[in-house]
């Protein structure tokens, strides 16, 4: 399968009803697309009455199309929501429209012009990666999953209160209306969930009934005589019990240990949900740790396969969008030359995972990441922490469980703060907390240099990197393993290695560097043995290993006990050298889990990031 999702061919012969040529079907009725959305889907699911007096409401749509249904729901939500209430919509689309086509289609609905402009401005990128658009001022988030319905639904977890089934007609698009799709819809439905669709095809009626829905025919819209409404009366089957804990605590106040990029990203995501956040840091100022370099690189890790391929792609798209909205990003572009396995980069260029306005070829077998670039970490931290309280010179030694939350104690035993939940995001100091000591973090020292020199047009990357910075250049970085956390200082030997790497990477620029002008900074990175970050609720290692000990002998574990965890304690760590690229999405993932929202990533992807994966591997090795 190609790495890029298919682009639909549109027939605009009738401007009032754009048609998908491959399915010979329209995206919406020419008799009134918005009226159709409201009659078939909103009223079919009992909205907006269904979310009255609800703090949160979840909806899943099959068939994103032009986004018209989303805009109809968004408009109704804005006019009827309770203060602080949250609406979460997940939508699935196998053939994502281009931004220009969506704008052309939605221009027919002037009553939606304001909302349509906001959606079009942030229109998702055509890529096989989940993308979440948050509109915190409206208490609304939209998550787009690209792919066929059944495989996407198979990876999702959570419970939805309502369903819009708005794919092309079953006779033209049978894959979406399969029994497998209906089984997954039932698995993901909250008790009493409502469902609406325009079709009354027999296989749809029978499939929904078999999956546990009570189905009724209702008067149709326009030329369609009938439509279906359904209510879930079955028992949610749920996913087979996971050995990896997850926990929603719906906090009012969250303490975040560490005001670096991981902690700042978590604070930003929680603030979007109206949660009070307090970040505590042992340093006197922002950027004293690994997030303190004068500039940092934001570029994608493009894997050809693997369970986290979509995660890394989604993280890059999420980071660029977040930093651009905050005004803290320079999209100067990154030229990536082959290093090591040159075939991997050539393969990605031959079958790209991103559209041409994001990714393309450069001379000498290199790739050009057109939207990648540089961010200044201190500016990023200030922007992400703008809605949080930050307590400097506030080291935390111990977390103490109290009846309704967690108490944070200083080294002198003073109580610093009480919170409903805690996020451990303290980088190389993460393992100083006994509950997190099992995490196999690996530390490395890195040094960068900057000063006068002829700046390149783009960032240049091979095994080292060179970037335009402050009218001159920035280059590095070293990777030196260290065994214990420390406060690394710059040294001349590291500078010599960085200069040697620069001469190999860009000899002309190296010749222009004024060595007397160079400044250096050294910092510590924390990574994991599998080079994937850690994000999720912190398991109780001792109790977890005892409960799942039979796994070491290849036996199944049959228990009704939930996976043991430190309830309300979450971790974001092991970001390595990619913290700026991955932290915004990791913060979003942890905030969503904490607040009980539908998962953005697939079940397999969440397990590949979960801190309990290391306990599981330890059992299997033993």
Residue 246 tokens read as 């997850």
Rounded to whole angstroms, how far apart are CA atoms 228 and 195? 8
pLDDT at 236 over 80: no
Lowest mean pLDDT among 16-25, 331-340, 457-466, 557-566: 16-25
- Residues constituting the chain: 622
Element (H, E) at 256: strand 253-257
CB 265 within 8 A of CB 583: yes
What percentage of residues in the chain have a pLDDT greater than 70? Answer: 99
CATH of domain 10-232: 3.40.50.150
DSSP 7-55: PPPEE-SSTTS-EETTTTEESS-TT-HHHHIIIIIIGGGTTTGGGTT-S
Q: What is the predicted pLDDT for the residue at 80?
A: 86
Per-domain boundaries in the chain: 10-232, 253-288+380-440+530-621
Residue 516: which residues within 8 A CB-CB, separation 6 or more? none
* SS3 state of residue 493: helix
Nearest to residue 247, comparing CAs of 506, 570, 535, 600?
Answer: 570
pLDDT-based confidence at 582, cuts 50/70/90? very high
Rounded to whole angstroms, how far apart are CA atoms 598 and 193? 15
Average pLDDT, integer, range 549-556: 90
The average confidence (pLDDT) of the chain is: 94
Classify the C-alpha dihedral 613-615-619-622 as positive or negative.
positive
Q: What is the predicted pLDDT for the residue at 237?
A: 64
Residue 264 tokens read as 């700042």
Rounded to whole angstroms, how far apart are CA atoms 94 and 5? 7
Q: What angle do CA 141, 316, 9 make, to 5 degrees?
A: 70
Q: Give 396-419 pLDDT, tens digit per residue.
A: 999 999 988 999 999 999 999 999
Chain Cα centroid distance, residue 103: 25
Residue with the larger pLDDT of the pair 358 and 1: 358
* SS3 state of residue 538: strand
Average pLDDT, integer, range 570-589: 97
Average pLDDT, integer, range 333-356: 92
Which class for 368: exposed (0-12), middle (13-18), buried (19 or more C-beta within 10 A)? Answer: middle
Q: What is the predicted pLDDT for the residue at 19?
A: 86
Residue 511: which residues within 8 A CB-CB, separation 6 or more? none
The two most distant CA atoms of the chain are separated, in Å, by 80
Q: What is the predicted pLDDT for the residue at 57?
A: 97
Residue 592: which residues within 8 A CB-CB, separation 6 or more? 269, 598, 599, 600
pLDDT-based confidence at 341, cuts 50/70/90? low
Q: Give 440-451 pLDDT, tens digit per residue.
A: 999 999 999 999
* SS3 state of residue 317: helix
Lowest mean pLDDT among 3-7, 26-30, 309-313: 26-30
Average pLDDT, integer, range 19-45: 89
Q: Give 39-88 pLDDT, tens digit per residue.
A: 999 999 999 999 998 999 999 999 999 999 999 999 999 998 888 999 99
Rounded to whole angstroms, how far apart are CA atoms 357 and 371? 8
* C-beta neighbour count of 463 within 10 angstroms: 11
Average pLDDT, integer, range 236-256: 87
Q: What is the predicted pLDDT for the residue at 16?
A: 79
- Segments of 107-211 assigned E as strands: 131-135, 140-146, 160-165, 189-197
* C-beta neighbour count of 362 within 10 angstroms: 18
Q: What is the predicted pLDDT for the residue at 235?
A: 80
Tokens 């500078």 belong to 495
pLDDT-based confidence at 383, cuts 50/70/90? very high
Chain Cα centroid distance, residue 33: 31
Average pLDDT, integer, range 147-167: 96
pLDDT at 176 over 80: yes
CATH superfamily of 253-288+380-440+530-621: FAD/NAD(P)-binding domain (3.50.50.60)
């Amino acid at each position: 399968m190609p790495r890029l999702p298919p682009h639909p061919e549109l027939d605009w012969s009738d401007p009032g009803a754009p048609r998908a040529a491959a399915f010979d079907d329209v995206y919406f009725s020419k008799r009134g697309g918005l009226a159709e959305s409201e009659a078939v889907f909103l009223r079919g699911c009992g909205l907006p009455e269904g979310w009255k007096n609800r703090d949160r409401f979840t909806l899943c749509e099959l068939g994103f199309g032009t986004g018209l249904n989303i805009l109809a729901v968004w408009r109704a939500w804005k006019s009827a929501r309770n203060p602080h209430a949250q609406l979460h919509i997940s939508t699935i689309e196998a053939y994502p429209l281009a931004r220009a086509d969506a704008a052309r289609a939605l221009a027919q609905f002037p009553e939606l012009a304001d909302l349509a402009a906001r959606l079009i401005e942030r229109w998702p990128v055509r890529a096989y990666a989940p993308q979440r658009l948050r509109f915190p001022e409206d208490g609304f988030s939209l998550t787009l999953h690209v792919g066929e319905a059944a495989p996407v639904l198979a990876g999702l977890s959570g419970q939805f209160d309502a369903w819009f089934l708005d794919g092309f007609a079953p006779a033209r698009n049978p894959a979406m209306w399969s029994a497998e799709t209906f089984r997954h819809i039932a698995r993901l439905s909250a008790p009493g969930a409502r469902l609406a669709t325009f079709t009354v095809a027999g296989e749809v009626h029978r499939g929904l009934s078999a999956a546990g829905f009570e189905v009724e025919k209702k008067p149709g819209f326009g030329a369609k005589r009938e439509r279906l409404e359904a209510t879930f009366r079955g028992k949610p089957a749920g996913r087979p019990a996971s050995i990896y804990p997850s926990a929603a605590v719906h906090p009012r106040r969250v303490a975040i240990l560490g005001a670096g990029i991981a902690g700042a990203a978590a604070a930003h995501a929680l603030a979007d949900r109206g949660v009070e956040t307090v970040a505590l840091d042992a340093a006197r100022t922002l950027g004293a740790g690994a997030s303190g370099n004068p500039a940092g690189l934001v570029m994608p890790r493009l894997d050809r396969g693997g369970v986290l391929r979509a995660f890394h792609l989604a993280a890059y798209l999420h980071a660029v969008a977040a930093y651009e909205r905050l005004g803290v990003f320079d999209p100067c572009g990154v030229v990536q030359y082959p290093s090591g396995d040159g075939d991997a980069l050539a393969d990605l260029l031959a079958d790209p995972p991103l559209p041409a306005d994001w990714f393309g070829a450069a001379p000498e077998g290199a790739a050009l990441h057109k939207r990648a670039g540089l961010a200044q970490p201190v500016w990023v931290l200030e922007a992400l922490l703008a809605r949080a309280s930050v307590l400097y010179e506030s080291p935390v030694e111990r977390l103490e469980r109290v009846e309704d939350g967690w108490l944070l104690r200083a080294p002198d035993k003073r109580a610093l703060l009480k919170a409903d939940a805690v996020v451990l995001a303290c980088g190389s100091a993460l393992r100083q907390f006994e509950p997190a000591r099992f995490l196999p973090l690996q530390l490395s020292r890195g040094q960068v240099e900057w000063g006068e020199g002829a700046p390149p047009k783009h960032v240049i990357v091979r095994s080292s990197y060179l970037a335009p910075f402050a009218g001159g250049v920035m280059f590095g970085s070293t990777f030196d393993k260290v065994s214990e956390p420390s406060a690394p200082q710059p040294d001349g030997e590291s500078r010599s290695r960085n200069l040697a790497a620069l001469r190999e990477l860009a000899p002309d620029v190296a010749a222009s560097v004024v060595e007397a002008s160079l400044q250096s900074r050294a910092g510590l990175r924390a990574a994991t043995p599998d080079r994937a970050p850690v994000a999720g609720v912190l398991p109780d290692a001792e109790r977890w290993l005892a409960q799942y000990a039979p796994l070491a002998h290849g036996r199944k574990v049959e228990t009704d006990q939930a996976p043991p965890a430190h309830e309300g304690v979450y971790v974001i760590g092991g970001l390595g050298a990619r913290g700026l690229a991955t932290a915004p999405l990791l913060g979003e993932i942890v905030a969503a889990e904490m607040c009980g929202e539908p998962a953005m990533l697939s079940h397999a992807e969440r397990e590949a990031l979960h801190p309990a994966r290391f306990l599981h591997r330890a059992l299997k090795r033993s």
